[in-house]
Amino acid sequence: MHLLILGANSDTAHAVAGKFAQNEGAHLYLASRDLKVLAKKAGDLEIRYRVKAEPRFFDATDYASHGAFYRGLNPPPDGVVLAFGYLGDQQRAQEDFEEAKKIIDTNFLGAMSILEIVAADFSRRGHGFIIAISSVAGERGRQSNYIYGAAKGALSIYLGGLRQRLSPKGVRVLTVLPGFIRTKMTEHLDLPARLMATPEEAAQDVYQAYRRGKEIIYTKWFWKWIMLIIKALPEKIFKRAKL
């Protein structure tokens, strides 16, 4: 199996890459911007799991480069894990449109741009799977991160449509909705320890969902129930909540 990991420098992506290397012996294309760190991570995966891991430069917001980037993968991948994301700063995004735009560009437009290219290829080959990491933040708008949430919400809706389109072609789409994962993205937030997953736990959930052919998963599992309640709250009450 050849697996393309987009945003391979993220902690969760590295852990997911490890799962596929360990269990599937996957040949990895690791794509991200910081090639120096990426080279180190590729070496780590190669030694630990005795697989091949190739670092590739990829910039999610340089849409024009995506076609050439994908054509450069030889052989083309059998699966894609989309793991890049940009949390940004809600407060700053409210005041500075550039920050808001960067959040939408990275999390939504960047994802859509590359996934359309992947979808066209997988659809033509009648083969492949897409695993995309969205977020529970996209399930309902909250004052503390609604711009990021809007981008992830758009991504989740996009993935739903993509799944419907590709399903008859034998191409699977798995939407991953993580709650809090202990990564560089969340390090400086004061989050409740009991709700945190480690990247390894999240990766295990993702891999298991892939094996079982799931469409949508929450990680950790209890977020499904938390979000069920949050989504069920009437707007009249929700608008007064401090979330």
Partner 1 sequence: MHLTGWGRYPRIQAQGSSFETPEQLHKYLQDPEDVIVHAQGRSYGDSALNDRVIFTRRFDKVLHFDPEAGLLTCESGFTLAELLQAFLPRGWFLPVTPGTKFITIGGAIASDIHGKNHHRAGCFSEYVDSLDLLLPQGEVVRVSPQENRPLFLATCGGMGLTGVILRATLRLQPVKSALIRETVIRCANLEEVFHLFEENRAVTYSVAWIDCLAPQGQLGRSLLMLGEHAETGRLHRAAAKTISIPLELPSFCLNRYAIKLFNQLYYQKQAHPVAGRLMPLDDFFFPLDKIGHWNRMYGRRGFTQYQLALPKEASFAGLKEILSRLAAAGMGSFLGVLKLLGRENDNYLSFPLEGYTLAVDLKIQKNLFPFLDELDRIVLDHGGRLYLTKDVRMSGETFRRGYPRWEQFVELREKKGFRVKYNSLQSKRLGV
Give the pair of three-digit tokens for residue 110: 């960047």
Of 3, 4, 8, 11, the residue at the interface with partner 1 (CB under 8 A) is: 11
In the complex, least distance from residue 5 CB atom to partner 1, rounded to whole angstroms: 16
Question: Least distance (Å) from partner 1 to the CB of residue 15?
Answer: 11
Q: Which of residues 152-211 bind partner 1 (CB under 8 A)?
A: 182, 184, 187, 190, 193
Q: Tell me the DSSP string of 97-111.
A: HHHHHHHHIIIIIIH
Are the C-beta atoms of residues 135 and 178 closer than 8 Å to each other? yes
Q: Does the footprint of partner 1 cover residue 40 (CB under 8 A)?
A: yes
Nearer to partner 1, 44 or 59 (CB): 44
Q: Residue 116 belongs to what H/E stretch?
A: helix 111-125
Q: How many residues bind partner 1 (CB under 8 A)?
A: 15
Q: What CA–CA distances, in Å, run from 79 to 3, 38, 191?
A: 5, 19, 33
CA 228 distance to own-chain centroid: 21
Q: Which stretch binds partner 1 (CB under 8 A): 46-54, 122-130, 204-212, 217-225?
A: 46-54
Spatial contact of 113 and 66, defined as CB atoms under 8 Å apart: yes
The residues that touch partner 1, with contacts defined as CB under 8 A, are 11, 36-37, 40-41, 43-44, 47-49, 182, 184, 187, 190, 193
